[in-house]
């Protein structure tokens, strides 16, 4: 008797979502998701309880950032650090706690340093372009004339 090495064909179900797609679904506001993405996200969250817990923490943090509720950060950090099955989230909360006062201020005030960071990036780009080409005077002139 010869043995056959073939197995019975297995039913093919839908492919699991890519990590990139699942991340996009988690980081997008639920109201901004299209219907099919919303359904797939619900299915993924129902299948994986750790991801469901992570989604709740991500949404709570996004709410603090978008609505400037920095006063809720200490409670969020405590709940994130209590989540033992998500060590990366716990580590993130630990690092936020190291400079809690600054993070709370950043999440509470409407001001940001985005404009300054844009200028710094532009200056660095000009400096890289001028590397080994000319002296400081030409770099100065280019920085002052750049828009």
Digit-coded pLDDT (tens) for 101-128: 999 999 999 988 888 898 899 888 888 8
Contact between residue 71 and residue 104 where contact means Cβ atoms under 8 Å apart: yes
Other residues' Cβ atoms within 10 Å of the Cβ of residue 132: 4
Q: What is the pLDDT of residue 144?
A: 85
Going by C-alpha positions, the residue among 36, 40, 38, 82 that lies closest to residue 57 is 82
Q: Is the pLDDT of residue 55 over 90?
A: yes
Residues constituting the chain: 147
Q: What is the pLDDT of residue 137?
A: 83
What's the pTM value of the predicted model, to 2 decimals? 0.69
* 3-state class (DSSP) for residue 10: coil
Q: Which two tokens stand for residue 113?
A: 């340093």
What is the rounded CA–CA span in Å between residue 118 and residue 120? 5
Identify the DSSP state of 133. T
| Cα diameter, the chain | 89
Q: Is the pLDDT of residue 130 over 90?
A: no
Query: What is the DSSP annotation of 53-105?
Result: HHHHHHHHHHHHHHHT-GGGHHHHHHHHHT-TT-HHHHHHHHHHHHTHHHHHH
What is the rounded CA–CA span in Å between residue 9 and residue 39? 28
Q: What is the pLDDT of residue 5?
A: 66
**Residue the block writes with tokens 């890289």:** 128
């Amino acid at each position: 008797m010869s043995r056959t090495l073939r197995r019975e064909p297995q039913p093919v179900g839908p492919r699991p979502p890519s990590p990139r797609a699942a991340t996009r679904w988690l980081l997008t506001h639920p109201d901004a998701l299209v219907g099919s993405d919303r359904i797939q996200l619900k299915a993924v969250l129902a299948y994986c309880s750790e991801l469901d817990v992570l989604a709740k923490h991500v949404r709570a943090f996004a709410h603090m950032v978008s609505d400037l509720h920095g006063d809720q950060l200490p409670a969020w950090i405590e709940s994130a650090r209590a989540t033992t099955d998500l060590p990366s989230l716990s580590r993130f909360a630990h690092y936020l706690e190291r400079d809690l006062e600054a993070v709370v201020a950043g999440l509470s005030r409407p001001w940001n340093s985005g404009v300054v960071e844009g200028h710094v990036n532009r200056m660095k780009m000009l400096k890289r372009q001028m590397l080994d080409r000319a002296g400081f005077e030409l770099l100065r002139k280019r920085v002052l004339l750049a828009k």
